[in-house]
Amino acid sequence: MTQFKFKTDIAPSQITPESIYEKRREFMITSGVLGTALLLNPWTSARASVAISDYKPNVVNTGEALTSEKDATTYNNFYEFGTGKTDPLQNAQNLNTDDWKITVSGECDKPGEYALEDLVKPFDIEERIYRLRCVEAWSMVIPWLGVPMASILKSLQPTSKAKYVAFKTLLDPEQMPGQKRSVLQWPYEEGLRIDEAMNPLTLFAVGMYGKTMPNQNGAPVRLVVPWKYGFKSIKSIVSIEFTEEQPQTSWNISGPNEYGFYSNVNPEVNHPRWSQKKERRIGEIFKQKTRMFNGYETEVAHLYKDMNLKTYF
Ligand SMILES: Nc1nc2c(c(=O)[nH]1)N[C@H]1C(S)=C(S)[C@@H](COP(=O)(O)O)O[C@H]1N2
Ligand SMILES: [Mo]
């Protein structure tokens, strides 16, 4: 099994070490200062040349310690592969992410079936260090690689009727044995209001820790919406639909009193069965206070300015 890998925009038959080198040089020259940073980035040299191409390094450093790559890739939630934290690592390794297709439908001018490479241009990939706060009151800090969702959605030309965006995970119980049990409604589905999806923080992520996305973390492509509880960050996406009405979501169907459509991280709104005031950073001993919008208040509070966040939880 070969993993989905990002290729340069030259045909596979033309990929030679020289042509890749030329592409890399071209990118470094056009990216100027970023190019210098790339040369200093220890990950650049460690990556295989046809895996994720050069990416723009993160410019905003929160100063927080990163969660270890080991913790982030061995302690996962991905119910399609089982409900235990190590099940995804165990059971996701044979997921075939080759020739991944994404169906785009609904209120947009560019519906159709897209190859992942046609939506995510390797040279647009950026690194973003984000906190991810699970509804279960643990959190991680992960260096993601991805493209801002806004640029992808704009390229699909949503119509004026597009008020929401709905996403679906692959449905394939043979590859995703967890789908043989009805712990959730399959396929896993999630949704965002279009302005949330277009917020500059929202990432369409294809990798982490300088590498192609591991299967257990949502290969080949997942959302990362860092101010919302982790379950909004849907993995292994095969469908993007622009809708006029608020879409249904798997977790809201399974527990409407526990998991709302918005699911913004909010220490003032407890889960009916536990407090959301504190969280345990994976790898650390002491709990820390959970922050409003997971600490991204400056970037996103305006999206909800006239809303009662207890009603719209
Ligand atoms: N398709 C799908 N996406 C999913 C999930 C899932 O079970 N299925 N779990 C969610 C939850 S609850 C969390 S906390 C994050 C975990 O992402 P990570 O394992 O990469 O840390 O993925 C989210 N995306
Ligand atoms: Mo979660």
pLDDT digits (tens, 9 = 90+) for 91-111: 999 999 999 999 999 999 999
Cβ partners under 8 Å of residue 282, min gap 6? 67, 71, 72, 75, 138, 139, 140
Q: DSSP string spanning 211-234?
A: EEPPGGGTSS-EEE-TTB-GGGS-
How far does residue 98's CA lie from ligand 2's centre (Å)? 27
Mean pLDDT of the chain: 86
Taking CA atoms only, the protein residue closest to ligand 1 atom 8 is 78
Query: Does the structure show a pLDDT above 70 at 173?
Result: yes
Cβ atoms within 10 Å of 21's Cβ, excluding its own:
11
Q: Is the CB of residue 199 below 6 angstroms from any atom belonging to ligand 1?
A: no
Read off the pLDDT band of 32 (50, 70, 90).
very low
Q: Is the CB of residue 259 below 6 angstroms from any atom belonging to ligand 1?
A: no
- pLDDT at res. 301: 98
- pLDDT at res. 53: 62
Query: Does the structure show a pLDDT above 80 at 190?
Result: yes
Range from 54-63, 246-255, 269-278 carrying the lowest mean pLDDT: 54-63
Q: Over the stretch 39-56, which tens digit does the pLDDT of each residue have?
A: 333 333 333 222 466 788
Q: Which fold has domain 12-301?
A: Sulfite Oxidase; Chain A, domain 2 (3.90.420)
- pLDDT at res. 120: 94
Q: Phi/psi at 153 (nearest 5 deg)? A: -65, -40
Q: Over the stretch 235-246, which tens digit does the pLDDT of each residue have?
A: 999 999 999 999
- pLDDT at res. 63: 79
- pLDDT at res. 52: 66
Q: Say what the pTM is.
A: 0.86
Bridge partners (DSSP) listed for residue 189: 168
For range 157-175, the mean pLDDT: 98
The owner of tokens 């890739």 is: 73
Question: Any idea where the domains of the chain sit in the sequence?
Answer: 12-301
- pLDDT at res. 55: 82
Quote the DSSP letter at residue 59.
-
Q: Is the CB of residue 264 below 6 angstroms from any atom belonging to ligand 1?
A: no
Identify which of 67, 70, 36, 72 has the alpha carbon closest to the alpha carbon of residue 54.
36
Q: Is the CB of residue 67 below 6 angstroms from any atom belonging to ligand 1?
A: no
For range 186-195, the mean pLDDT: 98
- pLDDT at res. 5: 52
How far does residue 153's CA lie from ligand 1's centre (Å)? 22
Identify which of 113, 107, 132, 122 has the alpha carbon closest to the alpha carbon of residue 218.
132
Taking CA atoms only, the protein residue closest to ligand 1 atom 6 is 78
Cβ partners under 8 Å of residue 200, min gap 6? 148, 150, 299
Read off the pLDDT band of 28 (50, 70, 90).
very low
Three-state DSSP state, 129: strand
| Amino acid letter, residue 86 | T
How far does residue 76's CA lie from ligand 2's centre (Å)? 9
How far does residue 133's CA lie from ligand 2's centre (Å)? 7
Q: Is the CB of residue 80 below 6 angstroms from any atom belonging to ligand 1?
A: yes
Quote the DSSP letter at residue 295.
G
Among 12-16, 23-27, 194-198, which range has the highest average pLDDT? 194-198
Find the ligand nearest to 233 CA. Answer: 1
Range from 123-127, 231-235, 239-243 carrying the lowest mean pLDDT: 123-127
Angle, CA 225 vertex, CA 221 and CA 231 arms, to 5°: 80
Query: Does the structure show a pLDDT above 60 at 221?
Result: yes
Query: Does the structure show a pLDDT above 70 at 256?
Result: yes
Q: Over the stretch 280-310, which tens digit does the pLDDT of each residue have?
A: 999 999 999 999 999 999 999 999 999 999 9
Q: What six digits make up the tokens of 163?
A: 């008020």
Range from 29-38, 108-117, 139-148, 189-198 carrying the lowest mean pLDDT: 29-38
